[in-house]
Amino acid sequence: MEKYEKIRVVGRGAYGTVHLCIRLSDKKQVIIKQIPVEQMTKDERQAALNEVKVLSMLHHPNIIQYYENFLEDKALMIVMEYAQGGTLLDFLQSRNGCLLEEEDILKFLAQMLMSLQHVHSKQILHRDLKTQNILLDKKKEVVKIGDFGISKVLSSKSKAYTNLPALILKIMRGTFSPISSQYSPQLRELILAMLHLDPARRPTINQIMAQPLLINTIMNLHTDAGKLPCVRINRPLSSMQSTGRGRVSSRGNSTARDGMPVQPQPLSSVFWWGGGTALPTKLPLPNPETQVVQVSAGRTQKAAVTRNGRLFVWESQAVGAETLMPGATEGSSPTLVPRYLEGQAAVTIQHVACGDLFTACLTDRGILMTFGSGVNGCLGHGNCNDVVQAKIVEALLGYEVVQVSCGASHVLAVTNEHEVFAWGRGDNGRLGLGNYASCTSPQPVAVPDNCRPCSVHCGMDCSVILTLEKSLLCSGSNRYNKLALDKPRGEIQDGVERMAVLEEAVVFSPVASAPINSLPIKMVSLGTSHSAIVTEAGECYTAGSNQFGQLGAVADSGSRGGPVLVSALSGKAVSLLACGDIFTVAVTEDQVIYTWGKTSRGRLGRSDRDSHLPGAVGLPKGDSPMTIVSVSSSHGSTLVAATRE
């Protein structure tokens, strides 16, 4: 105890004494639970040690934090976080029968659900959750679950058959006080469902968290975490700083010497070409202060994510058929208007991916949401229904998704624990699940034990996983050897090594064609019948069909060769990459955009006709240099985002 100073005893329980202490190193208040283990039975000692084991496994803002444990004076000392607000029981009793507001109930419930979700993800059951074991912070706004003394750590095959006898009796009786009519019908219905006598009819934690009643509360808790209080100051014009003769500046508008307003320089520019638009065209942004950090293009939609976590899409104002749809005729481009995602004001989006008529977006807390067409089950909601507003993918609520990719009709997602999930159309084995079945909800994907997936990439009829080991795993159609899955046979015929052809793979398999099978890979992109790969050294390789020059190299379009180096880019390190249907886009570190492939309908964004070799795209000149931060191609069009730091 030389590192701590006891202040007072704050509680006594069946297993020991609880002290409020000061940690001398930083003067932080902590709780030390003193448990005299030598005086306990074997089961009692096991319960005490179990709490240490469980607490050390849990790391969540809504769970009492474990610091350390040590033995002193024949007692086990467990040091943990101090919750100054006391227990939830004390808080409720202090209200003298006055009911909580529904908003406060939802706030407490959401935090408990998130903490229990974390507990269950570690294969742990609390088994003693009650108001005495739910603690509050000083402001009585943050919930902290504690007392894991009788919790149970489950093995992967075990089930929670035990429970406490007293708790079993309460559950079997199913009697409780009526719920006040001051609360909404939705809340009352949720509580009744959670208290149903039949366990099979009670909603799971994920189902509860996905209720419309709770979604906004959960999102607000995510976005409010760690925020600092601030006061907005509206400064009069006279207080602004001068920036030169006859001009003052603010973050918004500026005024010139003659009194005429000067438009502020935009923080970002987004360019679009293809689909009948021959040269790069600047797209409108919601306002000059919009700073775009990522874009994604689908067959019929274009989406962007801003630095402050907003998602918006460009909508066509043209009457009639969308010009990007197959079979559309060339003509004047439709007017595109940016629109923020509805209901997203309290959610911070960090990533977006567009498929055919549907979109997936990812929050900064790893929550995946989808909207759009539900054909093929691409939205991951367990059905094929369309969704107008972004909806949480319930099956992945227990995971922290770090990246998602949408193909034309399937989706892959990867978590921070290097787990991969796939859903949507399954033909050609594109889901990597070992079969050709389609799935309407996320399914876990098997990968080799020595591989740690870090990003996923969907094509038209195939998928690729990039691992932390800088290798590629591929599944789906390998036509034209676009996935580099053909293996050398070890035979030479007419001076050429013969290859064992693999038309498709139904599980994720390592690339086999040289030289990609032995090079560290940095990024990959998939087209309809070809792929592009960039190595750690910045070299660009392409594989698959070269019918329209999409490989960027002189190669026999009818042969089924291995990956080829885009020699025209030798000495230019590639930093960004995107494949369309029959063309390729690469951005080099010196901020030059190169395109190659078929020229029709403005796919390449340049006027010259030499399409089989990389050619530079000239973007409209802006007021000052910008850095290209994101490139996305789909079918016949490309989006490029550039920003000023």
pLDDT in tens, 564-577: 999 999 999 999 99
What pLDDT is recorded for position 285?
94
Whether the pLDDT of residue 323 is over 50: the answer is no
Between 626 and 458, the more confident residue is: 458
What pLDDT is recorded for position 260?
54
What pLDDT is recorded for position 537?
96
Please give the Cα distance from 409 to 357 (Å, whole number): 9
Q: How confident is the model at residue 478 (pLDDT cuts 50, 70, 90)?
A: very high
What pLDDT is recorded for position 326?
37
What pLDDT is recorded for position 155?
42
Q: Domains in the chain, ordered, with CATH?
A: 4-81 (3.30.200.20), 88-156+188-223 (1.10.510.10), 268-318+333-643 (2.130.10.30)
Q: How confident is the model at residue 327 (pLDDT cuts 50, 70, 90)?
A: very low
Whether the pLDDT of residue 246 is over 50: the answer is no
Average pLDDT over residues 617-621: 86
Whether the pLDDT of residue 57 is over 90: the answer is no
What pLDDT is recorded for position 621?
75
Whether the pLDDT of residue 172 is over 50: the answer is yes
Name the average pLDDT for the chain: 83
Whether the pLDDT of residue 32 is over 80: the answer is yes
What pLDDT is recorded for position 334?
60
End-to-end alpha carbon distance in the chain: 51
pLDDT in tens, 89-143: 999 999 988 999 999 999 999 999 998 888 888 878 776 788 888 999 999 999 9
What pLDDT is recorded for position 343?
61
What pLDDT is recorded for position 631?
97
DSSP 29: E
Please give the Cα distance from 280 to 276 (Å, whole number): 11
Q: Exactly one of 90, 128, 364, 427 is catalytic; which is it?
A: 128
Average pLDDT over residues 154-178: 59
Between 11 and 639, the more confident residue is: 639
Neighbours of 362 (CB within 10 A): 22
DSSP 433: B
Q: How confident is the model at residue 623 (pLDDT cuts 50, 70, 90)?
A: low
Q: Which of 62-71, 381-390, 424-433, 536-545 has the lowest mean pLDDT?
A: 62-71
What pLDDT is recorded for position 390?
84
Whether the pLDDT of residue 606 is over 80: the answer is yes
Q: How confident is the model at residue 300 (pLDDT cuts 50, 70, 90)?
A: confident
Q: How confident is the model at residue 232 (pLDDT cuts 50, 70, 90)?
A: very low
**Whether the Cβ atoms of residue 299 and residue 635 lie closer than 8 Å to each other:** yes
Beta strands in 214-291 (DSSP E): 242-244, 247-249, 254-255, 261-262, 268-274, 277-283
**Whether the Cβ atoms of residue 257 and residue 246 lie closer than 8 Å to each other:** yes
- Show Cβ contacts of residue 441 under 8 Å, excluding neighbours closer than 6 positions: 377, 380, 381, 382, 395, 423
Q: Which of 21-30, 201-210, 222-231, 497-506 has the lowest mean pLDDT?
A: 222-231
Closest-CA residue to 133 (of 67, 215, 54, 192): 54
Residue 449 annotated in active site? no
Q: Which of 94-103, 160-169, 317-326 has the lowest mean pLDDT?
A: 317-326
Whole-model pTM?
A: 0.64
Please give the Cα distance from 363 to 574 (Å, whole number): 28
Phi, psi of 638 (to 5 degrees): -140, 140
Read off the tokens for 496: 């050429």
Whether the pLDDT of residue 272 is over 70: the answer is yes
Q: What whole-number percentage of the chain has pLDDT above 90?
A: 53
What pLDDT is recorded for position 470?
97
Average pLDDT over residues 45-61: 75
Which phi-psi region, left, alpha or beta, contains residue 213 (left: φ > 0; alpha: ψ -120 to 50)? alpha
Is 282 annotated as ligand-binding?
A: no
Helices (H), 58-184: 88-93, 102-121, 165-173
Between 243 and 34, the more confident residue is: 34
Whether the pLDDT of residue 355 is over 90: the answer is yes
Helix, strand, coil percentages, rounded to 5, for the chain: 15, 35, 45
What pLDDT is recorded for position 360?
96
Q: Which residues of 248-268 are buried (b: 16+ CB within 10 A; e: fewer)?
A: beeeeebbeeeeeeeebebbb
Kind and range of the H or E element at 186?
helix 185-194
β-strands 574-579, 583-588: how paired?
antiparallel
Closest-CA residue to 568 (of 549, 582, 581): 549
Q: Which segment, 66-80, 186-200, 344-358, is predicted with the most confidence on average?
A: 186-200
What pLDDT is recorded for position 175?
72
Q: Which of 187-191, 324-328, 355-359, 641-645 has the lowest mean pLDDT?
A: 324-328
Which residue's structure tokens are 């508008």? 253
Q: Quick one: angle between helices 212-224 and 185-194, nearest 10?
A: 90
Beta strands in 298-357 (DSSP E): 302-306, 311-316, 336-340, 349-354
Whether the pLDDT of residue 151 is over 60: the answer is no
